[in-house]
Structure 1
Amino acid sequence: MRRAVLGAAGGIVLMLVVAGPAAAQVVNLWPGVAPGSEGWTQEEKTYENTPVGTVIQNVATPTLTAYLPDPARATGTGVIIAPGGYFVALAISLEGDDVARWLQERGIAAFVLKYRILEKRQEGVPGPMNMDSVGRYGMADGIQAVKVVRRHAAEWGVSPDRVGVLGFSAGGMVAGATLLQADSAARPNFAAMIYGGPFGAMPDIPPALPPIFMAWAQDDAVALAPVVRFYDALRSAGHRPEAHIFSAGGHGFGMRRQGTSSDRWIDAFYGWMETGGFTRAANPPR
């Protein structure tokens, strides 16, 4: 992989990442050090060919990687993708880059969010954690990501009123934070949570929210209870989220093909976007 710095604007650095036939821009989310992690010294690490594809740990500098479609096919819709990993890792290929390329091929601009996560200091899966505490940096990065995409909307061929967020597992908690934030103007125009959502205390559910898509498997041994709890909270608040409950697929299926009905989640998501008008071409700002 080859990187070249293209320039900087307002302290936000843009780079070109060349990896095979396609190129994607990488944009730092924050000018300078991300707020709240000024003292972080952890070293980011990438692991290839794990059971869940490429995994990143110890993220201290959050970025967006932009997968922009062929302008001839561009719809003007953008989707920010937040991978999962319990806030100690990011399943960056299975729940990030692979999803982005799928959307890119269909004319949708996709932005993989590499958000801040805790330093991984021991092997194995950590014990119970306060998810609101450990996830606060990633959630702040998700909210910032929506602002950055809208700021670059004209440059990236995206309409500012067609920016959505798609999150997996812990990334669903990040997506939920963008959806439920107090500043209604800063919320995404739609949000999707795949086997994810608020894993800590249930946030207040605002009375007016953009369209919501949810999907999970009934045999999810990790996140079933909090995901269902969030769905029920949305319903109790008067919302009607689109929900796809698959008979099998477990947790963390992402773009993995397992021969279960969960393999088709992204088709259901695209169909839902289609009915909302997000797959039809819009006129992006110039």
Structure 2
Amino acid sequence: MSRRRPKPFVALFLFAACVMTLAKSQETKPDQRATSTAAPRVINIWPGVAPGSEQWKQKESTLGSGPMQHIVNVSTPTVTAYLPDPAKATGTAVIIAPGGGFIFLGTDTHEVAEWLAARGIAGFVLKYRTAQLEGQNETQLNQAGGARFGAQIRNYALIAEDGKYALDDGIQAIKVVRAHAAEWGLSPNRVVFMGFSAGGMITEYTAIQPDVSARPNYAAPIYGAYFPTVPPIPKDVPPFFVEMAEDDNLAGSQIIKFYDALKAAGYKPELHLYEHGGHGWSMRKQGTTSDHWLDEFYWWLETHGLTKPSK
């Protein structure tokens, strides 16, 4: 990825492109429309104000509509629980972190949670904290987001700065899901963390963070975001399911570096490398093999015994 300084309108264009690529898909198969029987439930993952954001003043806003909807200025992190019909429940939980460069959150991940819940797997959509943007209206907030995205491209260190509290929220989400495992009919040793783009970076960090007891049992970064530098890979890392496209010009090279680091450390991550798909496809249909990524993720869960009820 080039570090040449992009012009302001280019940075804004790239930011808008990220919003579009993470947009909701309007195409779903008939069997993907089934949802869990229980209404989605929103749970704050921190008691009181999330630590570190006590002085944050910006108001959370949902911008756009329909497939262009995205959330900015998140300061109160939550998980939205999509619990399956108890008759279908497997005891497996998948925490799902959306993408957006730690600047905004796409909303298409709720479709993924519904898809999983219809198959007996509890889905938990994580709304993690994002960079604080100043603006009085939608146009100003989007312009501020575009400027921040351009700054990240010029200086990779800003990615870690913008994602600092998001990583904390990812680890906390795992603790909350495990703490409520009995209440929600889950097995505390069947917690999967899935993330898209920036959410993929959260996924990777939760899986390699120092506290082994707070790591997920399985990790699935989907076109995971790039690291400023690839961190050391520790012992006892969970099984990884990695997906990306050959033509991912935003994060592709860094995803491969992380995959290679796992291999060099002695692990055997499963990698799906699609010919086409770009970055940020999520539930969008593009007429490429990447359209079937969710089926392949489900098959991977199946091979690990996670699609059947736990004993």
**TM-score, scaled relative to structure 1:** 0.88
What is the CA–CA distance in structure 2 between the aligned matches of 1:258 and 1:49, rounded to whole Å?
Answer: 21
Q: Alignment length, in residue pairs?
A: 262
Q: Per-residue deviation at 1:58?
A: 0.6
Partner of 2:247: 219
Matched residue SS, 2:151: coil
- Note if contact 1:65-1:113 (Cα within 8 Å) is conserved in structure 2: yes
Indicate if the aligned counterparts of 1:215 and 1:245 stay in contact, CA closer than 8 A.
yes
Is 1:113 paired with 2:129?
no
- SS at structure 2 position matched to 1:200: coil
Q: Separation in 2 of the partners of 1:106 and 1:91?
A: 23
User: Aligned equivalents of 2:232 and 2:212: distance in 1?
Assistant: 13
Residue deviations 1:27-62 (CA, integer Å, cap 9, x gap): 001001101111001111112436x54311110000
For residues 131-157 of structure 1, give each alpha carbon's deviation from its aligned partner in whole angstroms, at most 9, with x where no partner exists. 111111100000000000000101111
How big is the shift at 1:269?
A: 0.5
Aligned letter for 1:67? Y
Conserved in 1, the CA contact under 8 Å of 2:200 and 2:225? yes
What do residues 180-234 of structure 1 show as CA deviations (whole Å, max 9, x unaligned)?
Answer: 1111111101000000055222222012211100000111121111111111111
How far, CA to CA, are the matches of 2:251 and 2:263 in structure 1? 19
Change (3 A) 1:155 1:183: same
How far, CA to CA, are the matches of 1:197 and 1:205 in structure 2? 17
- Aligned counterparts of 1:270 and 1:27: Cα–Cα separation in 2: 26
Match of 1:23 in 2: 39
Q: Does 1:64 align with 2:79?
A: yes
Aligned to 2:269: 241
For residues 172 and 183 of structure 1, what CA distance do their matches in structure 2 show? 19
**Contact preservation (8 Å) 1:176, 1:198:** no
Cα distance in 1 between the residues matched to 2:84 and 2:196:
22
Residue number in structure 2 paired with 1:88: 103
Contact 1:175 1:197 in 2 (8 A): no
Specify which of 35, 57, 65 is matched with residue 41 of structure 1: 57
Deviation at 1:74, TM superposition (A): 0.3
Is the 1:176–1:197 contact (alpha carbons within 8 Å) kept by the matching residues of 2? no
In the TM superposition, structure 1's runs of 4+ consecutive aligned residues that sit over 4 Å from their partners are 19-22
Q: Which whole-Å CA distance do the structure 2 matches of 1:147 and 1:20 have between them?
A: 23
Q: Does 1:101 align with 2:101?
A: no
- 1:195 aligned to 223, 242, 266, which one? 223
Aligned to 1:10: none
Residue-by-residue CA offset, 1:215-268 (whole Å, 9 max, x unaligned): 001111211111111111111111110000000111100011111111011111
Cα shift at 1:128: 3.3
Q: SS state of the match for residue 135, structure 1?
A: helix
Q: Can you give the 5+ residue segments of structure 2 that lack an aligned partner in the other structure? A: 1-34, 135-140, 153-157
Looking at structure 1, the residues matched to 88 and 81 of structure 2 have their Cα atoms a distance apart, in angstroms, of: 16
Give the 3-state SS of the residue equivalent to 2:49 in structure 1: coil
| Match for residue 179 of structure 2 among 142, 146, 151 | 151
Tell me the TM-score normalized by structure 2.
Answer: 0.81
- 2:283 matched residue in structure 1: 255
Q: Comparing 274-283 with 244-253, which one deviates more in the overlay?
A: 274-283
Q: Quick one: distance in 2 between partners of 1:48 and 1:103?
A: 26
The amino acid that maps onto 1:116 is R
- 1:128 lines up with 2:151 in the alignment: yes
| Cα root mean square deviation, aligned | 1.7
8 A Cα contact 2:276 2:288, kept in partner = yes
Distance in 2 (CA, whole Å) between partners of 1:163 and 1:20 is 18
Q: Which residue of 2 aligns with 1:76?
A: 91
Q: Secondary structure at the match of 1:102?
A: helix
What secondary structure, in the 3-state scheme, does the structure 2 residue paired with 1:127 have?
helix
Distance in 2, Cα, partners of 1:157 & 1:98: 21
